[in-house]
Amino acid sequence: MSKVIVVYHSGYGHTERVADFVAQGANAQKVVIDADGNVDEAGWQALNGADAIIFGSPTYMGMVSWQFKKFADATSKQWFSSAWKDKVAGGFTISASPSGDKLSTLQYFITLSMQQGMIWVGQPSMNDGTVNRLGSNSGVMAQVGPTSPAADIPQGDLDTARAYGARVAEIAAKLRA
Ligand SMILES: Cc1cc2nc3c(=O)[nH]c(=O)nc-3n(C[C@H](O)[C@H](O)[C@H](O)COP(=O)(O)O)c2cc1C
């Protein structure tokens, strides 16, 4: 079995709801990036001890939130010692518009993972109109309208998130073996 951590920032609870499903699929522990962009010491320890790390952020102005970026910058400490090299990586985001430039957010996660020497896992579920309805293969995309609560996130998006978590965990377990 692999140890998977889902580390995420959520301003208003939408990313958190997606994180719940990713974590469920991966049987993962969640680590929160707080409103000041900080992770507590226990969170850092969990991240450093993980086989796989799945990054989550809302898409704000076509990119990760500043809180997530502050976290990413703080991982320069791990970069200096290649501490996260060969860990498995994945990511998810949510936005209000069908596109909303979410791809930029996933691509930032990929860049961060490559900088850290991690091994990125794509999202292979086919778009059947419900699962992976937004047709993303770089990672998980979810979307719900700007005035909708997190409870209204389409179930297909959440199912996609759960399946992706399971895939990351499975790949991490294979690599660990
Ligand atoms: C500062 C800010 C910037 C946003 N920028 C975008 C954007 O670029 N594209 C988009 O589709 N939605 C955008 N949104 C909407 C959020 O992505 C969306 O509401 C998301 O579900 C919020 O997740 P959260 O509740 O985890 O913060 C933005 C929201 C905020 C507050």
DSSP string spanning 4-46?
EEEEE--SSSHHHHHHHHHHHHHT-EEEE--TTS---HHHHHH
Burial 69-88 (b: 16+ CB within 10 A, else e): bbbbeebeebeeeeebeebb
Q: Is the CB of 68 under 6 A from ligand 1?
A: no
Residues 6+ apart with CB under 8 A from 118: 53, 84, 85, 86, 87, 88, 89
Q: Is the CB of 105 under 6 A from ligand 1?
A: no
> What is the residue-level pLDDT of the chain in tens, covering all 177 positions?
899 999 999 999 999 999 999 999 999 999 999 999 999 999 999 999 999 999 999 999 999 999 999 999 999 999 999 999 999 999 999 999 999 999 999 999 999 999 999 999 999 999 999 999 999 999 999 999 999 999 999 999 999 999 999 999 999 999 998
- Which of ligand 1's atoms lies nearest the C-alpha of 143? 21
Could you tell me the distance, in angstroms and rounded to a whole number, from the CA of residue 99 to the centre of ligand 1? 11
Nearest protein CA to atom 18 of ligand 1, as residue: 95
Structure tokens at 87: 């860990």
Domains of the chain by start residue, with CATH: 4-176 (3.40.50.360)
- Which of ligand 1's atoms lies nearest the C-alpha of 63? 8
